[in-house]
Structure 1
Amino acid sequence: MTEPQPDELLQLAQEAARRAGVLLRDGRPADLAVAATKSSPIDVVTEMDIAAEKLITGHLAEQRPEDGFLGEEGASREGTSGVRWVIDPLDGTVNYLYGLPTWAVSIAAEYRGETLVGVVAAPMRGETYHAVRGGGAFLGTRRLACRPAPPSLDQSLVGTGFNYVQRVRTHQAEVARHLVPRLRDIRRSGSAAVDLCDVAAGRLDGFFERGLNPWDSAAGELIAREAGALSGGRPGAAATYDLTVTAVPGVFEPLQQLLEDLGAWHD
């Protein structure tokens, strides 16, 4: 098995994300409607999610037919090369459905279970982020670095998201109620991939969310880490579906502990 070249994977991911971003930006129908739902009636899929995923997987499979896939909209294939592409063709579908600009295409390449490359394209911002493990994070050609840690947690601006299952989101709202007085403020953009890139770009001090799948965070988490952020789940553990925490050093540990104390990972 030949070890993949990260630069090759990066170029493929960038081109696939560019093509999908153009399709989503320029091809959005005026009468866009919900095509299906997933975890709940408000967790929606549009025809454009499906079309973008087909475009991405088709492009990647043409160039690297032995690779595997894991995509939000059902792309799942075991490969033989050791490389797996983790794809969210449209992160922020509800934003996209309503015509809000905060949505992104997220593509990561894993090799033997470790993320090597991440690309997040946010077409309505005119921004594309990328990172290669050990090579830093970039917005276009500009190298990214997280913000310096604020003096205390109560001066931190933190992003989060809410699950579409009513029981879970109700608990998340209760956690947020306790968090707000202890932070500078909370932001909720509707796209985890964009939030993670905003940590990398110094626009947020941290981000946390319960219920993220690998396609939601694989690319953005690598970009944030390569910009200097720390990432994990509950204290001493890796990020999981139960909890993902990504923040600048100095904010990561106290935020992680506060979320643990508030029981953010369960209801």
Structure 2
Amino acid sequence: MPESTQSTPSAAPAGSASDADLLAQTAIAVRAAASVLRERFGDVVRHRTREELMRALAANDDAALGVLRPRLTLLRPDARFVEDELAGGALPPGEWWVLDPAEGNVNHLHALPEWAVTATLVRDNQPVLTAVHLPLTGETYTALAGAGARLDGRPLHVSRTTDLGLSLVATSQARPDEDEKVVRRIGSSITAMLFDALVVRTSVPATLHLLNVAAGRIDAFWQFAGARADLLPGALLVAEAGGRISDAEGRPWTPLSESFLAAAPGVHTEAVTTLSR
């Protein structure tokens, strides 16, 4: 993924549905899976041990995947699924579904509203399309490479802010058991942004921050490390909404990068300067 735009992926195989039609069907599948999670949402799910927490997280994932995977398999029978939602790095050639069946799963278990279901199709290591559904608001965010980003069919555009000092920015931790070096880097970056930006938000999950960047509500989001499922949906949405995608030092971002930055063009350079200290 280049710094500001996606490279154009190869077209869908001859005889298959167009990517636009495929995106529409993917959005339907994501909404169906999300409705299952909404039925499971309510009281805080109590857990006394890490094992109990992991079982509860897995139960949510399995419930959503039980709806999502069969539907996506019907849409693209030859596409493979990334089995580990926490995995990063490049994928083998071909088509892959990168799913987060319960993005913000820990929030769901704590009866907090910040969670979603996401599905992103990657073709030869280029994200082609993505659909993200927020069941508690009923909103569906979609993006198609080269064709823009939308919220319930309405075009999205990133913020036109040009001053980091007037910006609302956000960050997130990539996983609960971060390496100590990454944790300290997160802390120092938050401190730097507290000096340079207007307001700093810190919470999980990453995708919901990136939806807000694409919609122009937040001016920049950054993260250190991270999985494909965390970043690919939002990266495509922000890029298609006119934002700039790079690593924290301004270099082109790929799933192999050690950092990630999505920003409105007017504050991208200032954000890189702040994060590079």
TM bucket normalised to smaller: 0.7 to 0.9
Q: Which residue of 1 aligns with 2:21?
A: 8
TM-score by length of 2: 0.82
Using the TM superposition, name which of 56-65 and 121-130 deviates more.
Answer: 56-65
Query: Shift in Å at residue 9 of structure 1?
Result: 2.1
Unaligned runs of 5+ in 1: 262-267
- Give the letter aligned to residue 154 of structure 1: G
Contact 1:213–1:241 (CA<8 Å) still a contact in 2?
no
The structure showing larger relative contact order (alpha-carbon pairs under 8 Å, at least 6 residues apart) is 2
Give the distance between the partners of 1:81 and 1:174, measured in 2 at CA.
37
TM-score by length of 1: 0.85
| 1:109 maps to 2:104 | no
Contact 2:43–2:111 (CA<8 Å) still a contact in 1?
no
SS in structure 1 at match of 2:273: helix
C-alpha distance 36-68 of structure 1, shift in aligned 2 (>3 A): farther
| 1:190 maps to 2:176 | no
1:208 corresponds, among 207, 222, 228, to: 222
Q: Which residue of 2 aligns with 1:245?
A: 261
C-alpha distance 101-29 of structure 1, shift in aligned 2 (>3 A): closer
Question: Deviations 1:170-191 (Å, cap 9, x if unpaired)?
Answer: 4412321222011111112411
CA RMSD of aligned residues (A): 2.9
Contact 2:146–2:240 (CA<8 Å) still a contact in 1?
yes
Q: Which residue of 2 aligns with 1:153?
A: 164
Query: Shift in Å at residue 225 of structure 1?
Result: 0.9
| 1:87 maps to 2:99 | yes
Identity of aligned residues (%): 28
Contact 2:41–2:111 (CA<8 Å) still a contact in 1?
no
SS in structure 1 at match of 2:266: coil
Question: Deviations 1:109-167 (Å, cap 9, x if unpaired)?
Answer: 112221110111111122110011111111002111111123x2211111110242252
Contact 1:53–1:73 (CA<8 Å) still a contact in 2?
no
| 1:20 maps to 2:33 | yes
Query: Shift in Å at residue 247 of structure 1?
Result: 0.3
Q: How does 1:129-140 map to 2 (within 5 A)?
A: 129-140=141-152
Give the distance between the partners of 2:210 and 2:101, measured in 1 at CA.
16
Contact 2:168–2:197 (CA<8 Å) still a contact in 1?
yes
Give the distance between the partners of 1:61 and 1:93, measured in 2 at CA.
23
Structure 1 stretches of 4+ with a deviation exceeding 3 A read: 28-38, 71-75
C-alpha distance 54-71 of structure 1, shift in aligned 2 (>3 A): farther
Unaligned runs of 5+ in 2: 1-11
C-alpha distance 29-185 of structure 1, shift in aligned 2 (>3 A): closer
Contact 1:196–1:246 (CA<8 Å) still a contact in 2?
yes
Q: How many residues align?
A: 255
